[in-house]
Homo-oligomer: A and B are copies of this chain.
């Protein structure tokens, strides 16, 4: 039995695959390598329990052929659907990006679950499905979901299709609503962007927005730990969980100052105007993870601890 990981050469999949292999599972990773990087999964390639195939999951015939060829007669027990566009502003500029990479990958994953009798899907959803709730704390029961980015819209669309699949044929689905996740290998995100700016000019650190944006951050090691915990302990056919830190989060100001202290202590931080980094950005965010803590899981690191560790790791990854 095989654990299938779509988006298998992406940021979060790298940590997920490592832990699945440690647990003794056989893993097949698929990725179209547009945002994922084969270098990230290089270390797994010598493990006989691991297979990788370059496959574009947004195209159903390609996905089906690539999957069946790589499976070579084996069956899939668990589909970890991680493939998605990860560049939210790019999806705002062109709605087709998230239609294709964030939604059609999910739609096709569900079609293949039905066709290939894959019982269980674990889906990397996002807190972006909620939209801007202002200062209201967001629980899984909060509604209506009014996403303010095409990325969030297509994550919600994916959840919806998976939810219907659970009624129609699927045995089980776990939907993880991710917070902002930090760690390595970083490919995008606020830390990555800030460090890149300092790499170009160590004397000045321009920040999008006024620095007051406050969000909850989780380290990728905690995130994957939570996913595996929910996969093991979720009680229902369809389990929807917010995953996040238990604190109220950290500000962009904290991130900028920690990046500066780590990479270029003499840099001048130059803040922008307004509390949104870009259209579709959610300025502040109170995320309830009570359902998850009630199930028995808590993160090891709070937002600021996760950020401090990730900034160190990403600076090292970038040779700074």
A residues 20-54 in Cβ contact with B at 8 Å:
none
Q: A107-B99, A168-B280 are in contact. Are A154 and B160 (CB under 8 A)?
A: yes
8 Å CB contact of A152 from B153, B160, B166, B238: B160
* CB 8 Å contact bits of A137-162 with B (1 = contact, 0 = none): 00011111111111011101101110
- Taking a contact as CB atoms under 8 Å apart, the answer to whether B140 and A152 are in contact is no
Give Cα distance in the complex from A33 to B114, angstroms.
30
Shortest beta-carbon distance from A13 to chain B in Å:
24
8 Å CB contact of A150 from B164, B238, B240: B164
Q: A95-B107, A110-B95, A156-B156 are in contact. Are A164 and B148 (CB under 8 A)?
A: yes
* CB 8 Å contact bits of A221-234 with B (1 = contact, 0 = none): 00000000000000
* Integer count of this chain's copies in the complex: 2
Which residues of B have CB within 8 Å of A140? Answer: 143-144
- Taking a contact as CB atoms under 8 Å apart, the answer to whether B142 and A238 are in contact is no
8 Å CB contact of A141 from B144, B156, B238: B144
Which residues of B have CB within 8 Å of A161? Answer: 95, 150, 153-154, 157
- Taking a contact as CB atoms under 8 Å apart, the answer to whether A163 and B143 are in contact is no
Interface magnitude class on chain A: 35 or more
Quick check: is A111 within 8 A (CB to CB) of the other chain?
yes
A residues 85-121 in Cβ contact with B at 8 Å:
92, 95, 99, 103, 107, 110-111, 114
Quick check: is A167 within 8 A (CB to CB) of the other chain?
yes
- Taking a contact as CB atoms under 8 Å apart, the answer to whether A142 and B143 are in contact is yes
Give Cα distance in the complex from A160 to B164, angstroms.
16
Which residues of B have CB within 8 Å of A147? Answer: 160, 163-164
Looking at chain A's contact residues, is the secondary structure mostly helix, strand, loop, or mixed?
helix
Give Cα distance in the complex from A240 to B150, angstroms.
18
Shortest beta-carbon distance from A103 to chain B in Å:
7
Shortest beta-carbon distance from A109 to chain B in Å:
12
Shortest beta-carbon distance from A237 to chain B in Å:
10
A238 to chain B: closest residue by CB: B146
- Taking a contact as CB atoms under 8 Å apart, the answer to whether B160 and A145 are in contact is yes
Q: A157-B103, A157-B156, A157-B157 are in contact. Are A144 and B143 (CB under 8 A)?
A: yes
Give Cα distance in the complex from A111 to B153, angstroms.
14
- Taking a contact as CB atoms under 8 Å apart, the answer to whether B141 and A163 are in contact is no
* CB 8 Å contact bits of A41-75 with B (1 = contact, 0 = none): 00000000000000000000000000000000000
Quick check: is A131 within 8 A (CB to CB) of the other chain?
yes
A155 to chain B: closest residue by CB: B160
Quick check: is A274 within 8 A (CB to CB) of the other chain?
no
19 A-B pairs (CB sep. < 8 Å): A92-B168, A95-B114, A131-B167, A140-B143, A142-B143, A143-B144, A143-B145, A145-B163, A146-B166, A147-B160, A147-B164, A148-B166, A149-B167, A152-B164, A153-B157, A153-B160, A154-B160, A154-B161, A157-B157
Known: A153-B161, A153-B163, A157-B161. 15 other contacts (CB 8 A): A129-B160, A141-B142, A143-B144, A144-B145, A146-B240, A149-B168, A150-B161, A150-B164, A152-B164, A154-B157, A154-B161, A156-B156, A156-B160, A167-B280, A168-B280
